[in-house]
Amino acid sequence: MQDRIILKRIEKSKKSLLLLGPRQVGKSCLCQQLNPKKTFNLADESLFLELARDPSRLKRELKAFTKHTLVLIDEIQRLPSLMNTVQTLIDESPGQFRFLLTGSSARKLKRGGANLLPGRVILEYLDPFSYFEVKNSFDLERTLQVGMLPGVYLNQEEGVDILSTYTDTYLREEIQSEALVKNIGSYARFLDIAALSSGQWINYSKISSDAEIPKETIRRFFSILEETLLVFRLPPFEPKHEISRRTSQRDKFFFFDIGVRNSLLGLHLRKISQTQIGSIFEQWLILQIFYLNRAYQKRWQLSAYRTEAGAEVDLVIELPDHLIGIEIKSGKNVGRTDLRGLRSLNEIVSAYKPLKKWVAYQGSSKQVFDTGETVFPYLELLEALVLES
């Protein structure tokens, strides 16, 4: 059992909860820590079939409780219509029931016409482990190889096997069926190319050509991965003022866990090579900032910056009164040539918002350049971001 950042916030709340997150990030485990009095696990096929045939059973069983009752419904996306029953119980018996609803597919909820209970439930997301949740056992080398899914990261003996099973049975089979793919080969080719493209600017035409799949099908596949919470989309940075230089209009996609991405490519089975470490480290750190943004409810706007001339900044964070540009280096040294993208971004945004120019690296000491860029050891940068509001 590992404490999660969002646990205390959920414990304090009196509102019902819809908790979304990919499979095996620990949603059920977290909810069980709240000691629900009644649990409906829709992953149990027999219970799923019974409630599908007779949805009113849920209401009848809960009406048997006379005191305040905490109710967990796991994998709610399997029966989205139950959300209507939940709303009825909340409205008919104010204060008697608090619901914990978990789901691993926003797509299935939307497709099932789910009533997402606006004003009645709070929406939270659970991601793989954040560095802050495993500080005492953090191991960067292992993290970059197998990622931070709880059951994988904490299981030294069988974590690699669990990861292989996850990608083979879930990503390759269940999501394939979710995509309603008739041509199994096309989806398999797409998934491999998507893993190779993780963290890069997406060129749909090139992927379409390489995979021999129509471009609109590629877009649909990426949309399905996003709606099933398996990838994050990082949009291009859009300046608020008109500028003379042209910036990229392409997106980047990141698999939600670096270990899952590695597993699709077979990289989780061996030590990461030096030629691969730079891209993997960059993706992992950006994912950590995605997790941090949601876990601490920062509500930052995240994007990536690139000009047609080739100046890039790996991550741009927009806050109400300033921006933070973050360049990520996997090495232990940072030179002035590494700052080109941050300086380009500063020229664009300085007219309307101050920019903090930050660099993350694997060195051990914090540095400040005379032109204002601050270089952080990567874990110090994460600590500094927690303090930003």
Report all structural domains of the chain as residue ranges with CATH numbers, in order of start: 7-125 (3.40.50.300), 135-229+255-282 (no CATH)
Taking residues 64-77, report their average pLDDT: 94
Q: Where are the beta strands (DSSP E) in the chain?
A: 16-20, 38-41, 69-74, 97-103, 121-125, 231-234, 252-255, 301-306, 312-318, 323-328, 355-361, 367-368, 374-377
pLDDT attached to residue 179:
56
The sheet with strand 312-318 has its strands ordered as: 301-306, 312-318, 323-328, 355-361, 374-377, 367-368
Tokens read off for 29: 């485990």
Considering the chain, what percentage of its residues have pLDDT values greater than 70?
A: 93
For the chain, the average pLDDT equals: 91
pLDDT attached to residue 180:
56
Taking residues 157-182, report their average pLDDT: 77
pLDDT attached to residue 171:
74
pLDDT band at residue 177 under the 50/70/90 scheme: low
pLDDT attached to residue 183:
61
CB neighbours (10 Å) of residue 68?
A: 12
pLDDT attached to residue 1:
58
Taking residues 360-370, report their average pLDDT: 97
- pLDDT tens by residue, 20-45: 999 999 999 999 999 999 999 999 99
